[in-house]
Amino acid sequence: MEQKNTIYDIAKALNITAATVSRALNNNPKISENTRKLVLETAAKMNYKQNKLAKSLRNGKSFNVGVIVPRIDSNFFASVIRGVEDELHPEGYHVIICQTHEDEKREIDNITTLLNAQVDGILMSISKMSEENEPIIKRVVKNNVPFIFFDRKKSIDGVSSVTIDDFEGGYLATKNLIEQGCTKIAHLCGDQSLEIYQNRLKGYKQALLDNGLKYNQDYVIQTKSNLDAGKNAVVQLLALNEVPDAIFSSSDFAALGAIQELKERGVKIPDEFCVFGFGNEPFTRYLELSISSVDQSPLEMGKMAAKVFMEQINNTDNIKIEKKVVLKPELQIRQSSTRSN
């Protein structure tokens, strides 16, 4: 069996103390950059591998972080996870990914499993606004384990969050449709038990109010985030006595379904009917008729959630201090909402 080199071997090779080698390997600020670089280069040449278990025991950290998402087969959540990993990997952390599939029980099971795995923190986008998961989340915070919501959140004392301004996103998207001459704007809203969809609906309503347009409850249809939901919503809207001339959808997928149904019925987009989505999914820009959408900045959201975690794990006094980071939404205006006039 090949003999493994230790920090003592590195110290002997460089004629320095083992303590200095240890500090250099762990990026101790007391060690000069030249010494740190020399130690790292020597460690690499000697094929030194740090004992992660010993490091974990020494620091009281597992260097694992749990990320819980409703589903991983989504560009948005995949991009958030990438942002988290981009930020945490250089710090020596590994990410454990769990899915809830929009199931509150599985969400609680995921949190329990991650706690049993002794992760250093949990980052989560909630499945639904259930009261069932509050006790375990509060227990996490009580045990001084950082817990950060991203995208979908709920208000729990001591839990930080990173979101975009969903109200502003809904407001700006609706305002853009109004500026294109649309006066009868429908809204395909998401699950109203979730705060993000509540806020997008509020933004839509406020934009109508601020621009002197009447709010019509018949124009608001709760939909799931898929193509069939968007198609079915259009069927309902076109059956109304007063047919709308635009849709602001809280989901790009529902927006795409709406566009497909409108095209099948011979409705000209955007001249007769404008559509604006939410999420800026990759497909929105590559379609023959590109779809206007609100960008949620998932990569930045993931990086920011990771930064909040690092602030808390590096200073335990910060763990129970709520930090609310709200990112600014950006409109990606494309063909589906841009009229030629």
At 50 the pLDDT is 67
152: domain CATH number is: 3.40.50.2300
Same domain, 209 and 159: no
Q: Does residue 221 sit within a domain? A: yes
Same domain, 265 and 302: no
Give mean pLDDT, residues 34-56.
76
At 7 the pLDDT is 82
Residues spanned by the domain of 29 = 7-50
Buried b (16+ CB within 10 A) or exposed e, 39-75: beebbeeeebeeeeeebeeeeebbbbbbbbbbeeebe
- Residue 85 C-beta-side C-alpha neighbours within 13 Å: 10
Pick the more confident residue, 89 or 185. 185
Q: Does residue 302 sit within a domain? A: yes
Buried b (16+ CB within 10 A) or exposed e, 76-113: bbbbbbebbbebbeeeebebbbbbbeeebebbbebbee
Give the range among 28-37, 145-154, 190-199 with minimum mean pLDDT: 28-37
Each residue's pLDDT tens digit, 217-245: 999 999 999 999 999 999 999 999 999 99
336 pLDDT higher than 80: yes
Q: Does residue 70 sit within a domain? A: yes
- Residue 295 C-beta-side C-alpha neighbours within 13 Å: 14
Same domain, 146 and 130: yes
Same domain, 80 and 106: yes
113 pLDDT higher than 60: yes
Give the range among 40-49, 75-84, 111-120 with minimum mean pLDDT: 40-49
Q: Does residue 11 sit within a domain? A: yes
Q: Does residue 2 sit within a domain? A: no
Arithmetic mean of pLDDT over the chain: 90
Q: What is the pTM of this model?
A: 0.80
Each residue's pLDDT tens digit, 65-94: 999 999 998 899 999 999 999 999 988 899
Same domain, 124 and 136: yes
* Helix, strand, or coil (residue 112): helix
Same domain, 43 and 107: no
Same domain, 180 and 36: no
At 56 the pLDDT is 52
Q: Does residue 1 sit within a domain? A: no
Each residue's pLDDT tens digit, 240-256: 999 999 999 999 999 99
Q: Does residue 289 sit within a domain? A: yes
Pick the more confident residue, 73 or 122. 122
Q: Does residue 57 sit within a domain? A: no
At 341 the pLDDT is 62
At 238 the pLDDT is 96
Same domain, 87 and 12: no
32: domain CATH number is: 1.10.260.40
At 68 the pLDDT is 96
Same domain, 196 and 278: yes
At 54 the pLDDT is 53
Most confident of the ranges 26-35, 122-131, 154-163:
154-163
Same domain, 83 and 158: yes
Q: How many domains does the chain have?
A: 3
Same domain, 250 and 276: yes
At 53 the pLDDT is 47
Give the range among 22-26, 119-123, 173-177, 325-329 with minimum mean pLDDT: 22-26
Same domain, 292 and 303: no
**Which uninterrupted H or E stretch holds 231?**
helix 227-238
